[in-house]
């Protein structure tokens, strides 16, 4: 399952696996409060702030940020993030 979140510090939105939301285990696609502020792990390369330090130099460290969940989507339960560890919903397979 994925969460579409808006980071409060820069108003950037991302679709992330729900496993990236701290202390959050939704049981359905409606199991969230869009008024609540959640703590979300964010990759440094997803940060909108670009400074002299390259995100690649930060390693695989994840940073905690405040975010609002706007929607939940996808199949499966918490922790089933699908292929890879990326921050976006993977595209559907090409037609045969």
54 falls within a domain? no
Residue 4's Cα: distance from chain center in Å?
7
Write down the pLDDT at residue 60: 52
Domain count, the chain: 1
The whole domain housing 21 covers 2-49+59-73
22 falls within a domain? yes
67 falls within a domain? yes
Write down the pLDDT at residue 42: 83
Strand, helix or coil at 24? coil
37 falls within a domain? yes
79 falls within a domain? no
Q: How far apart are CA 65 and CA 53, in angstroms?
A: 19
Write down the pLDDT at residue 93: 72
Evaluate whether 36 touches 49 at the Cβ level (below 8 Å).
no
pLDDT tens sequence for the chain (96 residues): 999 999 999 999 999 999 999 999 999 999 999 999 999 998 755 544 444 444 444 445 568 899 999 999 987 544 444 444 444 556 667 777
21 falls within a domain? yes
Strand, helix or coil at 41? strand
95 falls within a domain? no
Tokens of 77: 């339960």
15, 36, 32, 28: which is closest to 81 by C-alpha?
15
């Amino acid at each position: 399952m994925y969460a579409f979140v808006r980071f409060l510090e820069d108003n950037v939105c991302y679709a992330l696996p729900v496993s990236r939301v701290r202390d959050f285990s939704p049981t359905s696609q409606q199991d969230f409060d869009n008024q609540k502020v959640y703590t979300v792990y964010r990759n440094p390369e997803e940060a909108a702030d670009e400074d002299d330090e390259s995100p690649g130099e930060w390693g695989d460290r994840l940073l905690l940020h405040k975010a609002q969940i706007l929607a939940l989507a996808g199949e499966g339960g918490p922790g089933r993030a699908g292929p890879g560890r990326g921050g976006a919903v993977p595209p559907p397979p090409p037609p045969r």
